[in-house]
Amino acid sequence: MTTLVAAGATDVGRVRTSNEDEYLLAEPLYAVADGMGGHAAGEVASATAMEALSAAFDGNRSGAGLVDAVRDANRAVWEQSRQSSELRGMGTTMTAVALVEEDGDETLTIANVGDSRAYLLRDGELDQLTDDHSVVEELRRAGRLSPEEAASDPRRHVLTRVLGVDAEVEVDSFEVIPYRGDRLLLASDGLFGDVSDEDIAAVLRRRSDPERVAQQLVAMAKDAGGADNITVVVIDVTDDDRSARASTRVKSGWLAAQARPVSARRAPDTDPKNDTEEMPRAVLAEPGPSPAREEPVPEAAAPTPEPKKGRRLKLATVAFLLVLALLLASATAAILISARGSYFVGVQGDDVVIFKGRPGGLLGFQPTFEERPGLRLADVLPSRADELRRGKEVSSLDGARGYVRNIEEEARAAPVPPGTTPPPSPSVSPPEPVP
C-alpha cells in the first residue's frame, strides 16, 4: 500500500496584488493551477478548473480518469469565460498528480497543461517531469534557444497551451511508479522563475516534513524577488507497494493513446539556503473550497520512466554523432596521410622533380614541390620519361631520391645517350641496356 504525506503553500509574492494561483490537496489527487486574465478572471479560472478537476476525478479515479478530469476542467473554464465579458480570455495552467490503481499496481499519473511543473526528487536527484508549454521552452527543446537565452527571453511567460481558451485541449500525461523516499513537487512559475533548480533541490533534499519544505520554498522565492504568485505542493512517498517494485515501471495502455512522454530532466545540485516565511491561501478539495491538509495522505506519486527514456534517446543520439564525427575524422586523416604522406617523381618544365603527395592530387589535396635533384628529362631513357610524366610513386623521400639516381645511371649506361636523340614518347620500352 502506497502512502503519501503532502502539504501545500501559496503566496501572492512581492509584486502582485492578488493571488491567481490555486492548489489542491484531495488525498489521492494533488494539483497546482496558475490562473491568468484581467481583473479577477485569473482567480476565477484557476478556482473553476480545480473544482471541475476534483469533481470529475471523483467520478473516475484512474489514470485515464485524471486526463479526462483535466479536459473537463478545460471545458468548465472555457464555458465560464463565455458567460461574461469580464471573464473572456481567462485561462489557467494545470499540473495534477493522482495515485491510482492500474491492473493491481499503484502508480502515479501526472497530467499537465501550461507551464506549472512537476518535479521528482529521487535518490537525491531532482528531475523535472513535465514539459512547459511555453514559446520559449518549446524553442529551447527544439534547440533554437540555449538554456541561458531561454531563462532571460521576454517571451518566457507566453504559453502555447492553457486551459480555458478553447473547447478542447491537448493534455500531457504519464505514469510514475512511486517508491518510498520519493519526494514530488508541483509548482507554479512563481517558484522556479525566481529560484534555480539547484536551490530547489537543496531544500527538497532536507529531511524536513512537506509542510516545512513547502513553506521554505515559498519563502525562498519571495526572498529572490517574489515577482509572481508562488505556489507549491510537496508530496512525500512514505511507503510503497511492494508489488509495484516487481512490476514494470511504465505501463501504457490508455497512456499509449493519449499520453505524451515528458522531456526535460535536470540533475540536482546542492546548496543550502533559506529559512521560513509564508504563505497560504486557497485550497480546494472538491466543488466548494476546503482547507488544505498537511497530513499523510494515501498513495503516491513517483518518478518518470518516460523522461529517462527521452534522455537515453538523447544520449544515444549524441553518442552516435560522436562516433560519426570520429569516423569522419579518421577517414579524413587517412586521406590526408595518403594524399600528403607519399611522394612521387615527376616532371616540371624540363626538369625531373620530386613531389610530395599523389600524382594529380587526391580529393582536393594537391601535390607540392619537394625538391629538384638536378636531372633533366632529356637525360633519361624515353621509357622513363613517360613514366615520369605519369608520375612515379614512391613511399618516401629517400625512395624518390634512389629512384632518381637509378634512372640517371640507367641512362648513363645506355648505348645511346638519351639526350642526343630524344624519341617522341614511345609507348614501348626501349631496349634494355646491354652490357
In terms of CB distance, is 153 or 269 closer to Mg ion? 153
> Cell 611522394, residue?
343
DSSP 173: E
In terms of CB distance, is 28 or 190 closer to Mg ion? 190
Residue 199 as a binder of Mg ion (CB under 5 A): the answer is: no
In terms of CB distance, is 211 or 228 closer to Mg ion? 228
Among 228, 241, 306, 408, binds Mg ion (CB under 5 A): 228
Smallest separation, CB 14 to Mg ion (Å) = 13
- The set of cell numbers assigned to 282 is 486557497
Only one of the segments 182-190, 210-218, 245-253, 288-296 lies at the binding site for Mg ion (rule: CB under 5 A); that segment is: 182-190
In whole angstroms, give the CA distance from residue 9 to residue 206: 17
Smallest separation, CB 126 to Mg ion (Å) = 20
Smallest separation, CB 17 to Mg ion (Å) = 14
Only one of the segments 28-36, 147-155, 251-259, 427-435 lies at the binding site for Mg ion (rule: CB under 5 A); that segment is: 28-36
52 in Cβ contact with 286 (< 8 Å) = no
Nearest to 120 by CA among 64, 70, 178, 193: 178
In terms of CB distance, is 165 or 400 closer to Mg ion? 165
Residue 189 as a binder of Mg ion (CB under 5 A): the answer is: yes
Smallest separation, CB 156 to Mg ion (Å) = 11
Residue 132 as a binder of Mg ion (CB under 5 A): the answer is: no
Residue 22 as a binder of Mg ion (CB under 5 A): the answer is: no
Nearest to 233 by CA among 49, 27, 17: 27
State CA 48 to chain mean position distance.
34
Only one of the segments 226-234, 240-248, 376-384, 387-395 lies at the binding site for Mg ion (rule: CB under 5 A); that segment is: 226-234
In terms of CB distance, is 95 or 107 closer to Mg ion? 95
- The set of cell numbers assigned to 352 is 625531373
Name the helix (H) or strand (E) containing 99. strand 94-102
For residue 176, what are the β-bridge partners?
A: 108
DSSP string, 127-150: EE-SPP-BHHHHHHHTTSS-HHHH
> Cell 633533366, residue?
376
Residue 34 as a binder of Mg ion (CB under 5 A): the answer is: yes
For residue 362, what are the β-bridge partners?
A: 365
In terms of CB distance, is 132 or 228 closer to Mg ion? 228
Q: What is the largest CA-CA distance in the chain?
A: 119
Only one of the segments 32-40, 72-80, 146-154, 201-209 lies at the binding site for Mg ion (rule: CB under 5 A); that segment is: 32-40
In whole angstroms, give the CA distance from residue 74 to residue 85: 18
Number of residues that bind Mg ion (CB under 5 A): 5
Residues that bind Mg ion (CB under 5 A): 34, 188-190, 228
